[in-house]
Each structure stands twice: as C-alpha cells, then as structure tokens.
Structure 1
Amino acid sequence: MVTPNPFKTVVIAGVGLIGGSVALGLKGRFLADKIIGYDANPETLKLALALGVIDEGYVTPGDWAQQADLIILATPVGSLARIARDLSSHAREDAVFTDVGSVKGKVTDLLSDLRNFVPGHPMAGSEKAGVTAARASLLENAIWVLTPTANTPLPLLNRVKQLVTKLGANPVVMPPDAHDQLIATISHLPYMTALALTHMVARDERLALLAAGGFRDITRVASGDPRMSRDMVINNKEALREAISRFRKELDQLEEQLDSPEMLFESAMEGKRTRDSLPIVKRSLIPGLFDLVVAIPDKPGEIGRIANILGDKGINIKDIEVLAIREEGGALRLGFETGELLERAHAALNAVGYETRPRGLGQSSL
C-alpha cells in the first residue's frame, strides 16, 4: 500500500544543530519536496544553502510562509513562542506547527491558542552547535517525545508521528508536564552538574592541570550553546529545582557512606547495574557502512533493476532498506563497504536517471 508523505514543503525556523539535522533527515530520506529555512542570522542561512541543508532562506517573516505545510520551530526556547506567532500570521490556516524545544509546559501554555500545534522534543543533541554540526544520523533511533495538549487534533498528532518514524526516530507520547519533570532529571540536572564541576576547575589551576578524558566526558554538556542551555533550564526551573533537591539528598547520603564502606559498595553496585542497563542508542542504522539513498518510482521491479545495474558494474550491496514510501514513489537505502563503491554506485545510478544522495560516512566523499 502506498503511503504519501505527510508534508511536502517544510519550514525550519532556526537552522542550527537540531533544525539542520531535521532538514538533512528530510532531504536524505526524500520526505519533503522543499525545505525553507528561516533564521535571523543571514550568514547562517548562506551557510545552510551552501551546505545543501535548505533550498531557500529568509530572515524575516513574509508571504513565503504560505508555502509551508509544516513549520518546525527549532529556535531557543526563550524565543520560540514569539517566532511561532510571527510565522503563524503569514502561514496558511491548515499549516501544521511543531517544535523541538526541550521544555514543553511553558511552550504549550504560551501557544495554547496556536492552531494545528503538535509540541515535540527529539532526545538528541551534541556539544557542538550550529548548522555545520548538523547531521541526519543525529535523529536515527532517538526518542522523539510528542506532548499533545487538549487542543491538538488527533489526526495531526498521527501525521507528525508518521513523519518522526520516517526520520528514523521513535515517537513517544506523554503530557507536557510529565515530560518536563522527567527531562529535568535526565537532561537539565546533568547540565547544571557539569556547570558546577567546570566552575570548580576554573577556580583552581591545579584541577585544570589534572582534568583529563573522564572529566571531559562527564562535563561534555557544558560545551553546548550557552544561550540555548540557559533558556532550557530557566524555562523549566520549578521541575529543575525539585530535581536538584533530590540530587542534594543523594549526595548527602553518599557523603555519609564514606564512613560505611559496605554501604558505599552497595551504592556503587547499584550505580553500575543501572548504568550498564541503560540502552545504547545507535545513531546510524548500519554503523561502518557507506550509505546511498535512492529515490525510486512506485512501479514493479525497481529494486531489482537497481540491483542489476550495480551488479553489472561489479558493485556489491552489503545492506538494503526501504526508508520511505510516498505518493509518487519511495526511497531506498543502499549500504556499501567502502566510499569508493559508494561513489561508483552514485555515478552508475545517476547515469540512468535515478536521483541519489549520499548519507553518513559516504556523505563527505561526494
């Protein structure tokens, strides 16, 4: 059964790490016909255009927003509501809005009257910032939380869930306040802890001299965008205060156990069991392979034809996956062992009229 893509023209408001990664995911899997970038920084838009992340770019709201079927709000949380209202005044009435902000309660309150809004938060990120750090694989296998409100139409929620799934992420639905309470502990508290530790190092040169790989690993999140990080914790401060209070109690208990080696050993064992049981999120579907995504028309025999074309050229396909089905066709991911094989496959398929895009490790070779 052919399932059309849920959206054709997508606006990315805020073309940074997450916004750029979503755009690359949409492009790489042929999930949108056009990606429009909206960002207050013209240099960011120029860079995004040069990198092929977006197809058009605008620094001010305007009638261009009429093209949008979906508007993804990827700005810092502090400016997200204002950007949404600026764009909604120009967008069509049937345009769908979603966001990628790490705080949901305040955002949904501020945008409670925004039509067709499906709040969301992909649980993905990096200590690097900006569109140059964006990559489609950042979203693969990530949990993508959707937090509908009483005003969110169920059909729209399902359309956004469908898009999230096609991007390779795993949609999870929960209320906004539940999301904020959970995220305060697993995301915002670690950020505040990393700040505290790095501040201690900054105030003692001897600590800085000894800080090595392990310390860098546990404080990695302190290297994120300071403005976005500040906005996320400020806008979730009540839930974060509660998490900090619980963390203090845990530290107090561990401090007391310094005089009780057996109890501290049990705590250490519990910590190891918990840490070892956490799922490992693989950010690419087949690590180590060079991937090529191929747009294919919806007619019988296309996959076999592609395999025969490459087979005749002596190009071995190590992995194959149907990524998406759309009204006029679909997308196929082909995995190759080397970048050289990927380049040959790219050339061979383009020569007979297939549209292809490299992804993952092979992306830098073309």
Structure 2
Amino acid sequence: MTAPKSLQDTLFDTAVIAGVGLIGGSLALGLRQRGLARKIIGYDASFDALQEAEALGVVHEIKTKPGEWLRDADLVVLAVPVRVLIPLARELAPFLNPSALVTDVGSVKSSIASEMEGLGVRNFVAGHPMAGSERGGVSHARAALLENAVWVLAPTDQTPLTALSRVRTLVEELGAAPVVMPPDAHDSLVATVSHLPYLASLALTHMVARDERLSLLAAGGFRDLTRVASGDPRMSRDMVVENKAALRDALSRFRRQLERLEADLDDPEELLAAAQEGKRTRDSLPVVKRSLLPQKHDLVVAMPDQPNQIGLVTQALGAQHVNIKDIEVLAIREDGGALRLGLESEEAVTQAADILTREGFEVRSRR
C-alpha cells in the first residue's frame, strides 16, 4: 500500500463522504490511510451507520443534517444508491462551496450528470468505481476494495477540465485506474457488462427455484454464473431501473445472440466456432482486469484437496516478495482444483513458478 502523504502533500483539507456504506466507507478509508484529506466527515441518513463508521475509524466526524458546515468541504463525494442519489444532490447543493470538487460513485451516470448541471454545481465530475461486494455496509469497507479497479469518470461538455484533472488525480492516488468517457457511453457499456448479467442471473435462478430437481445439479459453475443475484435486491432493482433505456437495448442484442446460438444447435461447426470465440474472449479477461485494466500475467496452480493450500501458496510467494495482483479459484473438484494468480510481469510468473515448484505444486503459465 502507498505510504501516507505528508500534510503538505494532502490533496484536500476537508472531505465529506455522503453515504458511509461499503463504497463510501472504502473511499473514506482510502483517503485516510493514504493521507489524502486532513479531515473526513461522514454524512448519512442512518445515524447507526454514522456511529459505526466513527467507531471503526472510517471518518473523523459525523453529521446528520446538511448545513453551513458543508461550505468548509473542498471535496464532496455522493456515495449513496442510485435511487436516492438525485434527492441527496438536491439536499446538499444549496450548502456547497462553489469551489468544492464534487463527484459521485453511482452506477448510472447520465441522470446525475444532468441533474448536477441543472443545480448549478459547476465542479462536478460523475464517477463510477467498478468495485463492490455481495456484503454491504461500512463494516465491510476496506481501502483495498478500490485498488486496481477501473474507475469511470464521465464528464459532460460543461465539466471544467481542472475539475476532471483533480478527480483523476484522486482516483490514481486511491490506487485505481481512471477511464474517461461520456455519461451515455458509460451507461450503455455498464448495461451490457453489469446490468444485463444481473437480469440473466435472476432468470437462471428463477428457473432453478421453479424446479427443485435443478437445484440438485446446480454445482459450482452455476453458482459462479449467478453470483450477482446474491446482491442486495433493492439496490440491484434500483440500479437496473435507473438505466432501463440502455438496458433494453442490451437485452435486445442479447436476445439476438441467444437466437443465433439456438440456430447453431443444428450446425455443430458454427457452434464450435462460437464456443472457441467465447473461450478466447473469457480467457483474455481475468477477473481483476474488468475489461479495461492492463493485462495481468497469469500462473495457474493445481490445488490438492487438502487444508490451507491457498495459504501455503500465498505465504511461499510473499516470503520471496512476489506480489500477487489478483487471485481466482478456477475449479473445485473432489480431488482438488486450480488457482489462478495474476502477477505483475512475465519475470514474476517465472519466479513464482520456480518457488511453487520447489514447494511441490504443479504450475503452468497462462497467456
């Protein structure tokens, strides 16, 4: 982790995190641990959440109502679910310092970008860190959640370049990778890679729920495919409804893909070509890459079905200062499974392979 900055290097004097849940709490911890803000104030509709955030050391102070105190903030982050993002913006806007840098972390960008322009918040930059967890709340917040994540910044034609530059610097200092695109482009892309998979997961889990025999056969692959259905139902519902126009377009394209695959059932060669294309695409997208991060260098480790095997792998590499950038369990079987390690370079792959081979593990690189 990056060492904390000195007070002279601090980016912000007072940062306000409006919404101290998983993402807001993780962002606050990142600001605090990396020394990016002298004071971090938590604002939330839930007093219990604020008390928990203060007790955990996530924020320095807590506030339950907007007021003149907001004028001291030079950074304000709107970190609430999309359903209440615009009401929150309207609530805080009258008290914001005109020079304050304002951003958000919502999963839909066009609506909030338009709203903030209408409210006259000049230094607003719409943002979306592509990070999260099935477990919500500030108790599960951690600064590392945002590290190596793609963080979309979605300026409009009215966004000052200085504001965009400052938010980009903030994102980079938090250890994430900023990617700039217009709000409507973001919403279209997220509809395909995030919101559509959620609806597909719902459809598949509903099929299982309506036939108990299917649940007997729903093994690890099915659980991996439908993982996003385990998210908070209300937040997920609000997310897809807020982006329904782009999502309808994505659903239309998805139906065409399914229809093409259905037709390919009568043409084994075409189905094989489709399967090979799918494998190439999936194999080129490690989990941590999130489609836009630089490609990681992978090492696959065969895992015996014995206790603490993952721990042995990470300890052996850590002792030799090999940095694991990403880790993914590829398969679990009765006789063991496999572990994918995302490393920094081909040299790190070679070094890790030598270390683990000496420890008795079977390894292979994956390109």
Match of 1:342 in 2: none
* Paired amino acid for 1:14: G
The one of 40, 44, 48 equivalent to 2:49 is 44
Alpha-carbon deviation of 1:80?
A: 0.8
1:350 match:
none
2:89 corresponds to: 84
Q: Corresponding residue for 2:59?
A: 54
Q: 1:241 aligns with which of 228, 248, 257?
A: 248
Alignment match, 2:230 = 223
Secondary structure of 1:22's partner? helix
Aligned to 2:258: 251
Q: Choose 4-13 or 164-173, whichever is displaced more.
A: 4-13
Aligned-residue offset at 1:282: 7.4
1:1-366 counterparts in 2 under 5 A? Answer: 4-112=9-117, 113-281=120-288, 288=314
> Deviations 1:249-270 (Å, cap 9, x if unpaired)?
1111111112222211111100
Q: Which SS does the other structure have where 2:95 is aligned?
A: coil
- Paired with 2:234 and 2:115, the residues of 1 have a C-alpha distance of 20
5+ unaligned residues in a row in structure 2: which ranges? 1-5, 291-295, 297-312, 324-367
Q: Secondary structure at the match of 1:35?
A: strand
Superimposed CA distance per residue, residues 62-101 of structure 1 (whole angstroms, 9 cap, x where no aligned partner): 2232231111011111211221121122222221110011
Counterparts of 1:319 and 1:60, CA distance in 2? 47
| C-alpha RMSD of matched pairs (Å) | 2.3
CA contact (8 A) 1:118 1:157 kept: yes
Query: TM-score, length-normalised on structure 2?
Result: 0.75
Query: Which secondary structure does the structure 2 equivalent of 1:278 belong to?
Result: coil
Please tell me whether the aligned partners of residues 98 and 121 of structure 2 are also in contact (alpha carbons under 8 angstroms). Answer: no
- Mapped to 2, the partners of 1:123 and 1:28 lie a distance apart of 21
**Greater shift in the superposed pair: 238-247 or 74-83:** 74-83
Which amino acid in structure 2 is aligned with residue 268 of structure 1? A
SS state of the match for residue 150, structure 1?
A: coil
Distance 1:200 1:16 in 2: 32
* Aligned-partner Cα distance in 2 for 1:58–1:210: 50
Counterpart AA for 1:30:
G
Higher relative contact order (CA 8 A, sep 6+): 1
Following the alignment from structure 1 to structure 2, what is the Cα–Cα distance between the partners of residues 317 and 10?
38
User: What amino acid is aligned across from residue 82 of structure 2 in structure 1?
Assistant: V
Task: Tell me the TM-score normalised to structure 1 length.
Answer: 0.75
Kindly tell me the number of residue pairs found equivalent between the two proteins: 291
Task: Give how far 1:227 is off.
Answer: 2.1
Which sits farther off after the overlay, 97-106 or 113-122?
113-122
How many Å separate the matches in 2 of 1:17 and 1:212?
Answer: 29
Residue pair 1:189, 1:240 contacting (<8 A) in 2 also: yes
Residue in structure 2 matched with residue 337 of structure 1 by the alignment: none
Query: In structure 2, how many angstroms separate the alpha carbons of the residues matched to 1:39 and 1:226?
Result: 21
What's the offset of the Cα at 1:162?
A: 0.5
| Equivalence for 1:324 | none
Cα distance, 1:212 vs. partner? 2.5
Give how far 1:186 is off: 0.6
**8 Å contact kept, 2:10–2:38:** no
Q: Is the 8 A contact 2:10 2:35 kept in 1?
A: no
* Whole-angstrom CA distance in 2 between matches of 1:57 and 1:22: 15
Q: CA deviation at 1:145?
A: 0.7
Among all aligned residue pairs of Structure 1 and Structure 2, give the percentage whose two residues are the same amino acid.
Answer: 62
Evaluate the alpha carbon distance shift between residue 277 and residue 19 of structure 1 in structure 2; reply closer, same or farther with a 3 A threshold. same
Whether the 8 Å CA contact 2:20–2:49 is kept in 1: the answer is yes
SS in 1 for 2:134: coil
- Work out whether residues 69 and 95 of structure 1, in 8 Å CA contact, stay in contact via their aligned partners in 2: yes
Give the secondary-structure state (helix, strand or coil) at the position aligned to 2:107: coil
